[in-house]
Chain A
Amino acid sequence: MRLALASTLLCALAGAAVAEPVVYGLDPTHSFVNFELLHFGTSTIRGRFGPIEGQVNLDRVAGRGRLDIAVATASVSTGWRPFDARIREPDLLDSDAFPQARFVAAEFRFEGDLLVAVRGDLTLRGVQRPLLLRAKHFACEWRAILAVEVCGGDFEGEILRSEFGAAFGVPFVADRVRLLVQVEAVRP
């Protein structure tokens, strides 16, 4: 009886210690925004932005989190440089006028201690719109090689680029852009 009480107390204490929100730093080698959009309804154009910069606060026990992350719009990379230069122009990303795209989210949805979705606001090309990113994978694990705890996952969302004023080429090049976000963050 006494043992059970002691162990409950210990668990509660341990829980309290873990429950403190932790500020994670993004791993720049595993944090990118990939995008996909359909070309003439036929094949998928892919590219990436990144690495993502910013901070993630995560409290898995309390089921809360907050993030404020950004990518440089000029970092767009499709594998074909003239195409990248074209995407940076004023009628698409307008990277000179809007060098950063930013995602700020304070609504973290958990199932147990697993993060399943993050809802926040995306600011792109000076336009702010709500964005929901659903987790396809999420896990925290001990990375023995680096002797650190890493939380990370794959998150997916969709935007209509015309809503952000980047409508060039619609409908031949799709309005709907699928975002595939890889993120890993290291517990300090």
Chain B
Amino acid sequence: MKGRRAALAATAWALAGCAGIAGGGGPAAYALDPTHTSVTFEVAHFGTSTSRGRFERAQGSVQLDRAAGKGRAEITIATASVSTGVPVLDSRLRGPEALDSEAFPTATFVSERFVFTGDAVIAVAGSLTLRGRTLPLTLKATHFDCYLSPLLAHQVCGGDFEATLQRSRWGIDFGLSLGIPDEVRLLVQVEAIRQ
């Protein structure tokens, strides 16, 4: 039984592979896999340690044409889904001094310029709308790959992307006067399933 299931999975994988190859040229649409897409941020806490948090709800879509070296992505996160492991801090971050989640429930990153080396994405240039302000932001890839998911029987492309931003440029001044740094490092995990 176990063997048969494994054989079935292998066949599905192989078939997905054929489909992947058949549809290999030209642009393809991908839907974000919300279970493997998340935005983590890091902020230095005074001069000692690094505080981390994440946004738990992200959705969006990606168009990718690896042969032509083109792509487009749109990712929206729910600002109220911020999670640091410290509930009191999460409330402060959702408040008007920081993310102001009631007035600005979403933050959106839109990119129409993917930078490739060969068929691998190395950077994604676009703009981030956060707290009602839209400013340019480029995410650099630290990993990028496409694989055939044995569970989903579909091609999945994804990677890890990083950027550092000054939160005050988006109007988030919370704690600056107390010495909490302006600089925030974003670590974005993305996986997207070929449709």
Determine whether the beta carbon of B54 is less than 8 Å from that of A46. Answer: yes
Determine whether the beta carbon of B85 is less than 8 Å from that of A46. Answer: no
Annotate A140-155 by CB proximity to B: 1 below 8 A, 0 otherwise: 1101010000111110
A79 within 8 A of B: yes
Among A41, A48, A145, A153, contact of B147 (Cβ-Cβ < 8 Å): A41
Determine whether the beta carbon of A41 is less than 8 Å from that of B145. Answer: yes
List CB contacts (< 8 Å) of B127-168 with chain A.
143-147, 149-150, 156-160
Measured between beta carbons, the chain A residues less than 8 angstroms from B63 are none
B86 within 8 A of A: yes
Measured between beta carbons, the chain B residues less than 8 angstroms from A153 are 48-49
Determine whether the beta carbon of B56 is less than 8 Å from that of A80. Answer: yes
A23 to B140, CA, bound (A): 42
A42 to B146, CA, bound (A): 7
B89 within 8 A of A: yes
B117 within 8 A of A: no
Interface residues on chain B, size class: 35 or more
Determine whether the beta carbon of B52 is less than 8 Å from that of A48. Answer: yes
In the complex, how many angstroms separate the beta carbon of B16 from the nearest chain A beta carbon?
14
Determine whether the beta carbon of B143 is less than 8 Å from that of A44. Answer: yes
**Given contacts A41-B145, A80-B35, A145-B178, are A154 and B49 in contact (CB under 8 A)?**
yes
A79 to B57, CA, bound (A): 8
Determine whether the beta carbon of A137 is less than 8 Å from that of B40. Answer: no
A174 to B77, CA, bound (A): 27
Among A43, A51, A77, contact of B189 (Cβ-Cβ < 8 Å): A43
Among A44, A138, A143, A182, contact of B46 (Cβ-Cβ < 8 Å): A143
**Given contacts A45-B36, A45-B189, A143-B46, are A40 and B85 in contact (CB under 8 A)?**
no
A128 within 8 A of B: no
Determine whether the beta carbon of A46 is less than 8 Å from that of B147. Answer: no
Measured between beta carbons, the chain A residues less than 8 angstroms from B23 are none
Annotate A120-132 by CB proximity to B: 1 below 8 A, 0 otherwise: 0000000000000
Determine whether the beta carbon of A29 is less than 8 Å from that of B159. Answer: no
Annotate A48-69 by CB proximity to B: 1 below 8 A, 0 otherwise: 1011000000000000000000
A137 to B166, CA, bound (A): 21
For B46, B49, B51, the residue with the greatest tally of chain A CB atoms inside 10 Å of its CB is B49
List CB contacts (< 8 Å) of A62-104 with chain B.
77, 79-80, 83
Interface residues on chain A, size class: 35 or more
B190 within 8 A of A: yes
Measured between beta carbons, the chain B residues less than 8 angstroms from A154 are 49-50
B45 within 8 A of A: yes
**Given contacts A34-B52, A42-B143, A182-B51, are A141 and B46 in contact (CB under 8 A)?**
yes
Among A32, A43, A46, A150, contact of B48 (Cβ-Cβ < 8 Å): A150
Measured between beta carbons, the chain B residues less than 8 angstroms from A184 are 45, 48-49
Determine whether the beta carbon of B190 is less than 8 Å from that of A43. Answer: yes
B residues near A (Cβ < 8 Å) are: 34-36, 38, 40, 45-52, 54, 56, 83, 85-86, 88-89, 143-147, 149-150, 156-160, 178, 187, 189-191
A residues near B (Cβ < 8 Å) are: 29-30, 32, 34, 38-46, 48, 50-51, 77, 79-80, 83, 137-141, 143, 145, 150-154, 172, 180, 182-184
